[in-house]
Amino acid sequence: MGRRARNKQGAPPSFEEIQTAKEKRALKKRKRLDSSKASESPKKPKAAKKDKKPRKKEETSETQGTDETEFPADLPEVDYDELSREKKSLFEDSEDDDKEDDEDDNVKVGTLDDFDAEQKEQIDDDVDEYDSEEENRAKPAFSDEEDAGDELEMEKINASNMEKYSELLDRRAEEERLEAEEELVEGAIEQPRPKILPPPGTEEEDNPQNHDITFVRTRMLEIVKVLEKFNELGEEGRSRSEYVDRLIKDICEYYGYTPFLAEKLFDLFTPSEAMEFFEANEVHRPITIRTNTLRTRRRDLAQALVNRGVNLQPIGKWTKVGLQIFDSQVPIGATPEYLAGHYILQAASSFLPVMALDPHENERILDMAAAPGGKTTYIAAMMKNTGCVFANDSNKARTKALVANIHRLGCKNVIVCNYDAREFPKVIGGFDRVLLDAPCSGTGVISKDASVKTSRTPKDFMNIPHLQKQLLLSAIDSVNAHSKEGGVITYSTCSVTVDEDECVVDYALRKRPNVKLVDTGLAIGKEGFTSYRGKIPQKSFTNKKVLPTCL
Ligand SMILES: C[S@@+](CC[C@H](N)C(=O)[O-])C[C@H]1O[C@@H](n2cnc3c(N)ncnc32)[C@H](O)[C@@H]1O
């Protein structure tokens, strides 16, 4: 069965990851031991050269602590080395307009240099101790198999090796965290057939243990471990469903979901994937912006924002318009560049439906559920303000934000309309491409809207898919199947449930046999479900868009 793409950010390590890390660490320890022995050999006089104080663990965490206080709690932690590298690569990026970019390649961004200097200053204090450690310990003590050679060269921290040094510190902190997590789980798990479930009759919710979140968290991890290897670890006389029931209750207690939604979401994944999913929903998504190429280029925008004290980097290789914001001395939604429409605050994932739609210049495009316009304005930019985009939304109040964004971003090829999109084929048809970014339950954006955890009911998962199915049929009926290059529909939601995604597409394919699935051409993402509880007879839908074949 295909599984959903995992969002690794902020998620706890899976048990497989813990296991792999454990083996890696054992290997490293052996290497360290070997190299310590080697360092005692008289051939390495350096190890005994100076009498410097050994590095203290707390100093590493203190540095991290300072970093944390420098940033607001809702912003992600920053890997400054990575950031610095990415910043530099940002200015080496080849954008669409390569020629102009070449001219700007030598542009000097003062704050980038300042940033490098600051970064160096920050670690300068550590350098002496690092030197001493470098000399007192066996050299490859931090080393991984892959970079042991490089580290042997690291005589002293300097501009060229400070990134490596920082990576080593990060790795060490990560190792310690994993070890702690591992001990937590293994402490209870390593004995055969541990008794994790409360004895029958003591399950009552007034049992104070069931509300002690540390206890509940440990138990969740233990139960997941058992469920992953039930035959080996399941307690005799206890069924799998007893473990699952306890786990669902613990998920509700710990993360605050209703039992209905916790179970619905849990059922989409393996137990450890489910835990990663629930954990990821507790972590704020990165703040990202999309460059409005109708007004500026990403390089110029980045430079302007860096000059205002914004720490940023490109989102990834798959987008040339996205930037991730780490921290900022100014409100990102109120800079002069924002007001001038040089960018829009937009989740990186929301670029993807538009990239899959792949709008071309001079086409006629329908965005069926468009407010507040993040995707409409991207479509307009990709079309370079040519052709025509119909931006529709049934909610009149929301069209105000849509109009405001269209104006701010300078989109001149957009017509805003306010219909129930189910009626759209009767209003106007013959579009080259249609985007249906459907209204949905929001189960994929719980980190943004935690109210979903308690507000969604079983009825929602009947009514919402029903509307989505009707909208998708309208989308298909609004497209011109004979369109030269187009005839394409992209269906997207912010939800992870099969009812709202695969089942909706499956329904449309059955109702409109002239339609077929085509690849999105996106470089990221994973295959979705090919079957789910006997519901989906079709092939995988993820990373597919809908293409009506000629009638
Ligand atoms: C997920 S949001 C769209 C977000 C938008 N595409 C963007 O990128 O900014 C779904 C939208 O569908 C609209 N909507 C709900 N039911 C609709 C219907 N029957 N016809 C058209 N729009 C509808 C909602 O008002 C909401 O604005």
- Name 408's Cβ contacts closer than 8 Å, sequence gap at least 6: 339, 341
Average pLDDT over residues 327-346: 98
Percentage of residues of the chain with pLDDT beyond 90: 54
**Ligand 1 centroid to 403 CA: how many Å?**
14
Determine if ligand 1 sits within 6 Å of the CB of residue 444: no
Clarify whether residues 499 and 527 are in a common domain.
Answer: yes
Between the CA of 122 and the centroid of ligand 1 the distance, in Å, is 47
Q: Is the CB of 393 under 6 A from ligand 1?
A: yes
Residue 372 Cα to ligand 1 midpoint, Å, equals 8
Each residue's pLDDT tens digit, 451-462: 999 999 999 999
Sheet containing 414-417: order of strands = 414-417, 388-392, 364-367, 433-437, 488-492, 544-548, 515-519
Stretch among 6-20, 204-218, 254-268, 455-469 having the lowest mean pLDDT: 6-20
Q: Give pTM, 2 decimals.
A: 0.69
Task: Please tell me whether residues 250 and 378 are part of one structural domain.
Answer: no
Mutation probe of ligand 1 site: the residue of 395, 424, 441, 493 with most atoms within 8 A of C-beta: 395
Question: What is the average pLDDT across 137-141?
Answer: 31
Residue 78 inside a domain? The answer is: no
* Structural domain ending residue among the three candidates 280, 297, 327: 280
Cα 254 to middle of ligand 1, angstroms: 32
Please report the pLDDT score of residue 511 as a whole number.
Answer: 97
Q: Mention every residue, 6+ apart, whose C-beta is less than 8 A from residue 222.
A: 185, 188, 189, 194, 196
Same domain? For 371 and 427 the reply is yes
Same domain membership, residue 143 and residue 28: yes
Q: Does 1 reside within a domain?
A: no
What is the pLDDT, as a whole number, of residue 310?
A: 98
Evaluate whether 536 touches 503 at the Cβ level (below 8 Å): yes
Centre of ligand 1 from the C-alpha of residue 362, in Å: 24
Find out whether the beta carbon of 437 lies less than 6 Å from any atom of ligand 1.
Answer: yes
Domain that holds residue 412: 348-548
Q: Pick from 323, 345, 367: which residue ends a domain?
A: 345
Confidence of residue 503 (pLDDT cuts 50, 70, 90): very high
The active-site residue, picked from 252, 417, 494, 503, is: 494
CATH, residue 488: 3.40.50.150
| 98 has a pLDDT exceeding 70 | no
Q: For residue 525, say whether it is annotated as part of any ligand binding site.
A: no
Residue at 95 is within a domain:
no
Is the shortest distance between the CB of 395 and ligand 1 below 6 Å? yes
Q: Tell me whether residue 387 is in a domain.
A: yes
User: At which of 257, 280, 303 does a domain end?
Assistant: 280
Q: Are residues 486 and 352 in the same domain?
A: yes
| Residue 544 in this model has a pLDDT that exceeds 90 | no
Do 421 and 504 share a domain, yes or no?
A: yes
Pocket test for ligand 1, best of 345, 346, 437 (most atoms within 8 A of CB): 437
Quick one: three-class SS letters along 457-502?
CCCHHHHHHHHHHHHHHHHHHHECCCCCCCCEEEEECCCCCCCCCH
The answer to the question of residue 146 being in a domain is yes
Domains contained in the chain, number:
4
Q: What tens digit of pLDDT does each residue of 351-408 get?
A: 999 999 999 999 999 999 999 999 999 999 999 999 999 999 999 999 999 999 999 9
Residue 450, both tokens: 């935690």
Express as a percent the part of the chain with pLDDT over 70.
64
| Cβ of 369 less than 6 Å from ligand 1 | yes
| Interatomic CA distance for residues 402 and 418, integer angstroms | 11
Q: Note whether 360 and 337 are same-domain residues.
A: no
Atom 18 (ligand 1) nearest CA = 420
> Comparing 213 with 91, which gets the higher pLDDT?
213
Residue 182 lies in a domain: no
Ligand 1 atom at minimal distance to the Cα of residue 421: 20
Say whether 503 is catalytic: no
| Under 8 Å between Cβ of 127 and 156 | yes
Q: How far, in Å, is the centroid of ligand 1 from the Cα of 474?
A: 14
Confidence of residue 294 (pLDDT cuts 50, 70, 90): very high
Q: Among candidates 308, 287, 326, 334, which has minimal Cα distance to 111?
A: 308
- SS3 percent helix, strand, coil of the chain, rounded to 5, is 50, 10, 40
Inside any domain, residue 333: yes
Residue whose CB lies within 8 A of the most ligand 1 atoms, among 354, 366, 368, 393, for a mutation test = 393
The residues, ordered by sequence, that sit 6+ positions from 23 with a Cβ below 8 Å of its Cβ are none
> Does any domain span residue 71?
no
317 is in an annotated binding site: no
Domain shared by 510 and 411, yes or no: yes
Nearest to 4 by CA among 527, 506, 381: 527
Verify that 165 and 53 share a domain, yes or no.
Answer: yes
Amino acid occupying residue 196: I
394 lines ligand 1 (CB under 6 A): yes
Q: pLDDT per residue over 156-208, tens digit each? A: 556 566 677 778 888 888 888 788 777 766 655 555 677 888 877 766 666 77
Q: What is the residue-averaged pLDDT of the chain?
A: 76
